[in-house]
Amino acid sequence: MSLQKHQDVPTKSPPRAIKRVLLVDDSQLQRRILSASLVRDGYEVHEAASGEEALQHCLHQRPDLIISDWVMPGMDGLEFCQAFRALPSDGYGYFILLTSKSEKAEVAKGLESGADDFISKPVNAHELRARINAGDRILRMQKELTQKNEVISQTLGELRRLYGLLDNDLLEAKELQQSLVKETFQVFDSGSVSYMLQPSGHVGGDLVGHYRISPHQIGLYALDVSGHGVSSALMTARLAGYLSSNSADQNIALVSNENGETKYLAPSQVAARLNNILLSELETEHYFTMLLAVLDLKLGRVSMTQAGHPHPVILRKTGKVEFLGSGGFPIGLIKDVEYQELEVDLNEGDRLLILSDGVTECSGPDGHLLGESALSKLLYQLRNQPVETMLADLHKRLIAFSGSEKMSDDVSGILFEFSPCARHCKHVAAKC
């Protein structure tokens, strides 16, 4: 069995950062001595007999390393160093001063003028080589840093470009999401309704809307999908497809009987159907809260199911504020949940408000939440506002409370006022 000797694989030296050297000295002999040593080490060497001549050379061909005498007639080494540092450049030139000065104050003055290192005269070849190698390491690191910064700048530029594209897409998505609420104010035969949808970002997870059941019945729904941003907005759009249509073929809250007449499912049944769909058909980690109400526009009767959504509010014409409901389970968390219904009768001038938790959980500058008590006071103050503008005024009050126009959560709401003569009053400026 033969044994092979292990041979050390020579490591490849990194390429030099210092290739071009400029010698600056009024002594021709000193320049020749240093030049011969540097040429033997493989450097490209240029010479200048004065600071002025060296500065002109740097304007046309910038060196990687300058070795300059300190004491020279005219422009001395310090002045030349300062002038060299003032030149515009993308790279860095390493500067070594040749000097017989050894006082600390003089050395400090040289460093403050921009010098990187010193070599005492007479110059020792080994010391010079060591100091050049030290400068070479610094320049290599500087060049590597510059290259990395260029990569970072290019990456940031690409990210800005992609962010711009994404921002444009999100603005379009916002417009599309807002289009789900086709009209922010509508008048029916026996009432009027207004909608508010204010996402905290470009797009949000809240949705409000209605569907028509019959000439005297409508369904109102408010949804709040868990989370924020694009995924929540996509989920919201998908849920809108289940509820926004007036056709029984496309709206799970509607059914057709044998005579082709459109009937509605009780809100509790709709909530149960959505819960089963979310848990069995839709592959998502999202859940959502919902308040679904069916309004009889003739009688003013409201049947509602609260599925984890904030309590619906009745604002009586007298100014009394009533919070209804017991809470209920959000949709998409637990299988086979039974949802309860509650009923309430509206008298003429009474209002029903369905608001998202972005209202009651609106945070003030001190971190204090608005809560139902403060909301009740706000609604009482706004009780005489027209239906068309009341939600917008409420949103302004929330901004004032939070101290910022950028809310931490989506804010949405529905306001319905029972008014049997609403359509007549819309078109005729007279008392009903």
Does residue 180 register a pLDDT over 70? no
The reply to whether 349 falls in a domain is: yes
The reported pLDDT for the residue numbered 353 is: 97
Q: What is the pLDDT of residues 148-178, one digit of tens each?
A: 888 888 888 888 787 666 656 555 655 665 5
The model's confidence at residue 399, banded by pLDDT at 50, 70 and 90, is very high
The reply to whether 414 falls in a domain is: yes
**Is the bond leading into 15 cis (omega within 30 degrees of zero)?**
no
Q: What is the pLDDT of residues 278-306, one digit of tens each?
A: 898 877 788 999 999 999 999 999 999 99
DSSP 8-class letter at 190: T
The reply to whether 174 falls in a domain is: no
* pTM of the predicted model as reported, rounded to 2 decimal places: 0.62
11 vs 130: CA distance, rounded Å: 20
Same domain, 384 and 278: yes
Same domain, 201 and 349: yes
Least confident of 39-53, 96-110, 304-318, 321-335: 96-110
Q: What is the pLDDT of residues 53-85, one digit of tens each?
A: 999 999 999 999 999 999 999 999 999 999 999
The reply to whether 391 falls in a domain is: yes
Same domain, 125 and 201: no
CATH number of the domain enclosing 136: 3.40.50.2300
Structural domains counted in the chain:
2
> Do 413 and 195 touch, CB atoms closer than 8 A?
yes
Q: Which of 387, 303, 290 is CA-nearest to residue 343?
A: 303
Q: Which of 209, 205, 213, 187 is CA-nearest to residue 196?
A: 209
Same domain, 237 and 332: yes
Report in angstroms the alpha-carbon separations of 73 from 31, 70, 110, 116, 243: 16, 10, 17, 22, 91
CATH number of the domain enclosing 342: 3.60.40.10
Please state, rounded to an integer, the average pLDDT across all residues of the chain: 86
Same domain, 143 and 193: no
Q: What is the pLDDT of residues 112-131, one digit of tens each?
A: 888 999 888 888 889 999 99
The reply to whether 9 falls in a domain is: no
Domain housing 31: 20-148
Same domain, 340 and 240: yes
The reply to whether 162 falls in a domain is: no
The reported pLDDT for the residue numbered 240 is: 84
353 vs 357: CA distance, rounded Å: 13
Same domain, 285 and 400: yes
The reply to whether 173 falls in a domain is: no
Query: Is the pLDDT higher at 238 or at 132?
Result: 132
